[in-house]
Amino acid sequence: MVMVKVVINGMEVEARDGETILGLARRFGIEIPTLCYYEGFSNGSCRVCVVEVNGRLMPSCITRVSEGMKIETESPRAREARLTILKLLLKNHVHRSREERDRCVLCGYAVRYGLEQAPIISDERLDDTHPAIVFNPSACVMCRKCVIACTMDQNNDIIAVIGRGSGTRIGFDLDVPMGKSDCVSCGACVDACPTGALMEKDWAPADKVVETTCPYCGTGCTVEYGVKDGRVVWARGGYGPANEGKLCIKGKFGFHYINSPERLTKPLVRKPGVPKGPLNDRDIHEVFMEVSWDEALNIVASRIKEIISKYGPASIGGIMSDRSTNESLYAFQKFMRCAIGSDNIDQSATLCHEPSAWSLATQLGFGAATNPIRDILNARTILVVGSNINETHPVIASYVKRAAKQGSHLVVVNPMHTELARYAEYEINLRPGTDVVLFSAMAKYILDMGWYDEDFIGKFTEGFEEWRRSLEPFTLDFAERVTGVPADIIRQVARLYALEKPSMILWTLGITEHENGTENVSSLINLALLTGNVGKPGSGLMPLRGQNNVQGGADMGCAPGRLPGYQPITDAEVRRRFEELWRCKLPSFVGFRSTEMIEMARRGLIKAMIIV
């Protein structure tokens, strides 16, 4: 990395060549006011961050450092210019409530620099047509951060600057009220807005902020919750490696279940004499009674001991949610195997993405994605297969759409039309169940044209010639008849994937919850290995999980027959190592999966189930 020497506020420092003055100042703990700055994107519209550089006033958020610069962030000229800009911005700045003003960064700067804060006035121009967001145009200072958030970061293309001159303003779609636009309610504009012009309708100030992982899909977004009096009052995107501050509608607004009065806070035991059956509309306290934790644990422990004594440990099953932490998943599988003595343990990974985990582990050695999410932006060609990621994984879709806007070739493969196809170079609506034929035909065509990576195949694969012979039936004509996809389209997509590298493949349950799901995933892995699109920046294979810790559930061994790290329980040496570590005797049999446990319970072979 090239470094340059600069002087900032009289201090000589080394700066990274190409970084902004604002970035340099923040690295050294120097605060410069900003309104329009948006991490990762160039803006420079507000000029509040102006500093003096070698006697000239420059916006620090877009000015790059260079050798020998002398920077003053609080010189008299810089401070005077900043005050002038703040006064102009405050001149017509109005808030509708104290809560809105308290969120306003501009008003915070007014207090800091001794200026008069914006008044609180009811505004008839208020746009409250959106179910979750309110827009107050009078509080808007045209910093354009909401535009960047919507069109360049989330890539939803709803918010834009419209009008000219003094009529310039923020608008939605073709200048319609926000609630009538195609807004997807990701809330990025709200989190970006520095003045509270865009704000959650039910926002409330928080006592503390707690960082955690979003509980929904498998993207793994970092989310920050505002907490007041033990209740979550707002959510915003945290700057984590998966989402870089972005959220979707679920992560942003779908947190109210946390505060639900229906959540259990104390153990409940069925009342004596109340038969088992659906609760329907009955009050839960008509069926169950509250007991202490000690009493509840004693009841459960005694019943489990009784069942083990009478029917054996294999009569007990356990299912755990993949929304749990790694630590909880690990502890639960250890409890089932050591304390209970049963391998009847499962979680949703064996239902939804088992074909992905098995195929990736068998062919690559590990059952997980090969590259980080942000690497999507480095791909030249992207295949999205069996997925409606605009709906299921919106944050990942934002990266895919951004890559497509920047010139990457996007191919969407799905029997049904999806919204993502708006950004695609090719939309392939193949017949359901014909994925293997399509990808095998692509592989055969790549081989016939000599576009495969011979060096990669020789170094990192085995069984190549046998696999090559297996592709003989998959001609383009055969594939067209079976899949319904024109042969010429298959040719063009195969050329893109093989030659416009690096190439990446993303898929979800559309090809795994399927009779031939394992073969579907295997055909994608073979394509990647054939062209050397594994193990390099911008290339790889990315199964998109449905719950936020499906991967962790599999890694921690919450599956029948697999100990932590995917080690087989049937292997005597593997069992010996774990028994020595855990100081317990492990079952040697492969237990039932969740669907089998339900059937075994129906038959009377499973006598108790622990569901977490």
Given 3-state DSSP classes, what are the helix, strand and coil percentages for the chain, each rounded to the nearest 5?
40, 20, 45
Cα–Cα nearest to 191, from 182, 200, 180, 181: 200
What is the CATH topology of the domain spanning 354-544? Dimethylsulfoxide Reductase; domain 2 (3.40.228)
Q: What is the pLDDT of residues 138-173, one digit of tens each?
A: 889 999 999 999 999 999 999 999 998 888 999 999
b/e per residue, 240-271, with b = 16+ CB within 10 A? bebbbbbbbebbbbbbeeeeeeeeeeebeeee
Two tokens, residue 398: 């934002």
How much is the pLDDT for 124? Answer: 64
Cα–Cα nearest to 161, from 319, 299, 348, 36: 36
- Which residue has tokens 């795994």? 512
- CATH class of the domain at 119-258: mainly beta
How much is the pLDDT for 122? Answer: 66
CB 441 within 8 A of CB 474: yes
Give the span between the Cα atoms of 124 and 115, in whole angstroms: 26
Q: C-alpha 325: how far from its chain's center?
A: 16
For residues 338-348, give the mean pLDDT. 95
CB 124 within 8 A of CB 141: no
CB 510 within 8 A of CB 351: no
How much is the pLDDT for 98? Answer: 79
Weakest-pLDDT range from 266-270, 314-318, 322-326, 349-353: 349-353
Give the span between the Cα atoms of 312 and 598, in whole angstroms: 18
Q: Does pLDDT of 2 surpass 90?
A: no
Q: Report how far apart the first and last C-alpha atoms of the chain are (Å, whole number).
A: 49
Q: What is the average pLDDT value for the chain, to the nearest integer?
A: 93
- The radius of gyration computed from the CA coordinates of the chain, to the nearest angstrom, equals 29
Cα–Cα nearest to 93, from 104, 79, 80, 81: 104
Two tokens, residue 299: 């009841």
Cα–Cα nearest to 126, from 117, 118, 136, 116: 136
Give the span between the Cα atoms of 204 and 100, in whole angstroms: 10
**Taken in order 426, 430, 433, 436, is the CA torsion positive or negative?**
negative
> Under CATH, which number does the domain 3-90 receive?
3.10.20.740
Q: Where are the domains of the chain?
A: 3-90, 119-258, 354-544
Give the span between the Cα atoms of 349 and 355, in whole angstroms: 9
Q: What is the pLDDT of residues 210-253, one digit of tens each?
A: 999 999 999 999 999 999 999 999 999 999 999 999 999 999 99
The pTM for the full model equals 0.91
